[in-house]
Structures are given as structure tokens and as C-alpha cells.
Amino acid sequence: MSDLRPPFMPLAVLLASLAACPPHRLPTTFLDDRHRLSEAFAAFDTANKLTQPAPGQSSFKGTPERFLQILQALRHGLEAGDAVSNDFLDWLHPQMRTAFREQYLAGNRLYLEGLVQHDVVKQLRGSDLVQQWYSGFWSVNSKPIADRAFMEPGTFTNVLWFSLAWILGICAGALLLVQPLIALFFGLPFTLRLKRLGVLRSNLPFAKYLGSLVLLLTVFWFATTGMRAWLPEQIVGYYIGVSVAVLFSLAHWRANPANMQDYVETNASYIDAEALKHILPDAPAK
């Protein structure tokens, strides 16, 4: 019923621009996981530094106090690392969970057990697992993982994604919300009026408008839910776009010549033309 046209060309241009600017912003649900992962890395780094020989010494000579500090750092790192969710590790990298838990954490855990039990073999096996982590998975993937976890998109990228959300809001509003509003404020009332006056020979137009209303509002709900999950930081831009589409469509909600012409053409097979002319002399011919 509406001639509103979503801006598909600007949308295509934005999508092309954003291909090189993916949104790396961390989902808010992972903020605690990022903090725990940082704690684990920091604690294990502290433990590693505590096991290094002092300047001027060729071998490590630990004191009971230093030994306790190493144990505390390793335990803190394991506690923080175990608390990191698998969802967050999978979000960082498809193989992050396996490498982090089966090499990095397992190696430090084995090394801790070796220290407590004074078992040199366990210490060596633990050190070997940690070395596999550093020389294998982490050496290849540390930078993209760190970028994904800790870097925020720049201002220009934020503007692009906000603009995309805004245009998607206009599209969703024009295609999925304005049409149900037209059906609600014009299509259904006009159908009931014509039926009451004996102009309509069938109830199918009412069922069609009601079905369209429910279907499009359902799709709009799913689209909005998807936007909230995909671009939560830019959801305001989406809502602004929806509002713009609705505001510019206000004139299309009522019984105007364009809507009436469209209604008559769409439902011509259900309309008694003579009865329509008798009741609405100015109504468009079918």
C-alpha cells in the first residue's frame, strides 16, 4: 500500500565499506571473562618471572618466601583461567578453548603439582606443555586474539556501523512496520466498513490484512531481536531508523486516494463495483 522505498543503494555502499571494518567490540556478556583471562595471563607471567635467576646468577636459587609466591601466583592463574567461559574462548578463536585448556592451563597445573610434590618429571612435562602453547598456537594467533579481545573499533568504524544500523532500521520500519500500521489504521477499518455496507462479497480481504499484520509484526520482532544481538552498541541507530520510517509514513496510514486505489485493485474480485459507486461516488474504479 505504501510507496516508501528503502535506501538499498546506500546500504550496499555501506556494506562494501564495512567489509574491511568488522565490529570487534567485545560483547558485554564477555567482560568478566576478558578480565579473568587477563588475570590468568598476568598471574602465570608473575610465576614465570619469579622462577628466573636473579641478575648475575646462572641458576635459580629460591627462598621459602619466593617458593610460596610462585605457588600463589600459579594457583591464582589456574583459578582465573578455569573461570573463563568456553563461550568466550570459542568467540576469540575456534581452537582457543582446546589450546588454552589442554596446553596452557594443563601445563601450568602439572608444573604446580610438580612443585608441590617435588616431582621434577611433572615440572618438566608441565613446562613442555606450556612451551607447546607458546611455540604453536599462541605464536600464530596471539595478535588477532588480542585485537579481538582488547581492541575497540575506531571512531570512523563506529560511525559506519551506526549508519548501517540506521539504514537497516529504515528498511525494517518501511517494510515490516509501516505496512502493518497501514493495515491496522486503514486496511482493516476500511474492510469492515465496506463489509458492513454490503460492498464486499467475501471475508477474505479481512483475513488477508489480519494475517499480513500478524506476519509482518512477527518478522519485525525477530529482525529487531537479531539486531540487538548482532549490533548491540549501535541499536540506538536502528531504532532511530525505524522511527524515521514511521514518521515519514504517517500520511499513508489514512484513507487517501493512493490507498483506496491500491485497495480496490487488490481486492477487485471481492468488491461489488456498483455498490461501491453508490456508497463512495469518488472511489476509484476497479
What pLDDT was estimated at residue 131? 94
What pLDDT was estimated at residue 125? 95
Residue 129: its H or E element: helix 120-135
Distance CA 39, CA 78 (A): 10
What pLDDT was estimated at residue 9? 40
| Region of residue 284 (phi > 0: left; psi between -120 and 50: alpha; otherwise: beta) | beta
Q: Positive or negative CA dihedral for 246, 250, 254, 256?
A: negative
Distance CA 20, CA 160 (A): 11
What pLDDT was estimated at residue 70? 92
3-state secondary structure of 271: strand
Is the entire prediction scored with pTM above 0.75?
no
pLDDT mean for each 10 residues of the chain (286 residues): 40 43 64 92 90 65 84 95 94 94 95 92 93 93 85 60 86 89 87 84 86 91 89 85 89 78 83 73 52
What pLDDT was estimated at residue 73? 94
What pLDDT was estimated at residue 271? 82
Q: How far is CA 199 from CA 14, 104, 211, 276, in A?
A: 48, 77, 21, 6
Distance CA 10, CA 192 (A): 40
What pLDDT was estimated at residue 13? 42
Which residues make Cβ contacts (< 8 Å) with residue 238, sequence separation at least 6? 165, 166, 168, 169, 172, 224, 227, 231
